[in-house]
Chain A
């Protein structure tokens, strides 16, 4: 188990560095220079060049990359000129919303998707299975932004059950903490449903196919031949095995979940990383883009690592390797 984890961590490091390297390389090829945004008419080309040399000295690419990595390891991801703040602080101010959204959607989708998948598998081809299968096909086909717009139109604009945008109500800025938390949850309901729907659909689909495969296996026949009742056979013997591929899915879904969160934030105008990155693109804020990418890559890799650990927990074959 320990060896397994160490091996996985050692495998992740080169992948992480590889991704950062490619990102850094691409961004270093970006047009424009760091001084483009400084619109001071008194600035002569010489002054501009001097400033350029000071802010972004003309060094070989690999030296720049190395410097960036060293700085990043110290928690310095550069400075965002638009925000007059370090990149880390800018991301830090926005990441809470994205995480809250992604986490809520993930938990919601597991709580609904996994049991629904089991029911679907144990009653293959029944009416319930057909309804759930249609639901999951539709859930997977709905683009997050279109579903978001539809729900926004129906539930927020027409029915006025939910707020139209944002994460909090400005009039509650000085209300007690719990009130503000409740207000935030209220703002997150619709976005979480939107993001959760596609996730629920994919959990359901995977659980169903995984369960169907497990149910046909020899050890399930053994469990039945022992005289165990069907509930024990399904929820203990089959489910523990079906969980194994689902746990791997957990890791694989993270990039998709993040993409989904970015889209959802844009639709609901939530102050999260998604909105931030669209802004960063529009203002060509490359340090910020690089920081966001590095942060998301790290999140993804950590998530896959967590999935690996969970994998070892559910599968004794890995644990004892």
Chain B
């Protein structure tokens, strides 16, 4: 880990703020989020739905619709280039080429009226200047790489002919076609059956090593995180609440929310039949309370939490926590 931290990060996100404005309401979907991604690592982002994890990742390649979204501030540095400052044309050169995406819904993420092959060829022709024939050959290779049987046949099929798992493989093939620096996987296995899930995760791990890409892996499923991630970032109500390597997160979680998440997963080692749940719901992002957003659901809440928001503090090397109660440095 220390060796990794000495290297220059591939992607640096500094104080990113992505807000949504509608009817006079402001929703701070991503509120002052900072993190780094290093070459070849997988950073997992965890949180309940609506915590801003998807918007954070969509912001990286400026894929958030503006309006209603707006990038209110911060920097997104990919190899030193600020994604929020470059022109639209430059941004398009980066999308699908340096930053690629896999989305949650394989059933609807492929265009239903175009052949699989054409949809992969399109990226190759656009970013690598290949001819139609070269791109076609490469598309078949790409399908083969994601272990799709009979790629020569599948390349001419339409998406509706494939199952969800197969479509997600196609999405992966498409995303990795140009060997991107960063692959953003937004809940790529949530919509799949459990057995297919495992296959797809295995595939992603293999391919990551093969083409040495970094992965930003978004999920709400902690067991998936345990399997995929090197480091984990926990988000709550648009803010980072804890960031550490995967062993620390599972071994020594500090933020009450992280603790809640970990204790709420089914544990096979004990015979307990009841699951622990975090009481309450995710707060309305357009109407956040003063102070800590987690206060109403927190077991260790104190007066300070109702007055102000804690800073993200590095409690031990590489382990950041945002909490007055559990995250204070020992004074």
Contacts and interface: CB of A to CB of B under 8 A. Distances in A.
On whether A and B touch (CB less than 8 Å), the answer reads yes
B93 interface: yes
B158 A227 contact: no
B103 A221 contact: yes
A229 B101 CA distance: 16
A222 B94 CA distance: 14
Contacts of A314: 113
Contacts of A180: none
B29 to A, nearest CB: 16
Contact of B93 (A227, A237, A316, A317): A227
Interface in B97-152: 97, 100-101, 103, 105, 108-114, 122-123, 126-127
A51 interface: no
Contacts of A237: 111, 114
Interface string A126-149: 000000000000000000000000
Interface string A67-97: 0000000000000000000000000000000
A320 B160 CA distance: 10
B123 A241 contact: no
B306 interface: no
A241 B63 contact: no
Contacts of B110: 219, 222
Given A218-B103, A317-B160, A320-B161, A225 B96 contact: yes
B120 to A, nearest CB: 10
Contacts of B97: 227
A169 interface: no
A227 B112 contact: no
A227 B101 CA distance: 11
Contact of A222 (B89, B109, B113, B126): B109
A222 B101 contact: yes
A259 to B, nearest CB: 33
A48 interface: no
Contacts of A226: 95-96, 122-123, 126, 174
Contacts of B96: 225-228
A253 interface: no
B42 to A, nearest CB: 19
B108 A217 contact: yes
A316 B94 CA distance: 31
A229 B92 CA distance: 7
A317 B158 contact: yes
Contact of A228 (B126, B158, B161): B126
Contact of A320 (B63, B108, B127, B158): B158
Interface residues of B, number: 29
A229 B90 CA distance: 11
Contacts of A316: 112-113, 158, 160
A269 to B, nearest CB: 46
B129 to A, nearest CB: 13
A117 B114 CA distance: 23
A221 B111 contact: no
A53 to B, nearest CB: 62
Candidate in A221, A241, A315 with the most chain B CB atoms within 10 angstroms? A221
A288 B112 CA distance: 48
A278 B23 CA distance: 54
B160 A227 contact: no
Interface string A292-321: 000000000000000000000011110010
A186 to B, nearest CB: 41
Contacts of B46: none
B112 A225 contact: no
B257 to A, nearest CB: 29
Contact of B92 (A219, A221, A228, A315): A228
Given A219-B108, A219-B112, A241-B112, A225 B158 contact: no
Contacts of B103: 218, 221-222, 225
B95 A227 contact: yes
Contacts of A315: 112-113
For the complex of A and B, the 7 pairs showing the least CB-CB separation, nearest first, are A227-B95, A226-B96, A227-B96, A218-B108, A225-B101, A219-B111, A316-B158
25 contacts: A217-B108, A219-B109, A219-B111, A219-B112, A221-B63, A222-B103, A222-B174, A224-B63, A224-B95, A225-B96, A225-B101, A225-B103, A226-B96, A226-B123, A227-B93, A227-B96, A227-B97, A228-B122, A229-B89, A237-B114, A240-B111, A241-B112, A315-B112, A316-B160, A320-B158
Given A225-B100, A225-B103, 11 more contacts: A219-B109, A219-B110, A222-B103, A222-B110, A226-B95, A226-B122, A226-B123, A227-B97, A237-B114, A241-B111, A316-B112
Interface of B: 61, 63, 89, 92-97, 100-101, 103, 105, 108-114, 122-123, 126-127, 158, 160-161, 171, 174
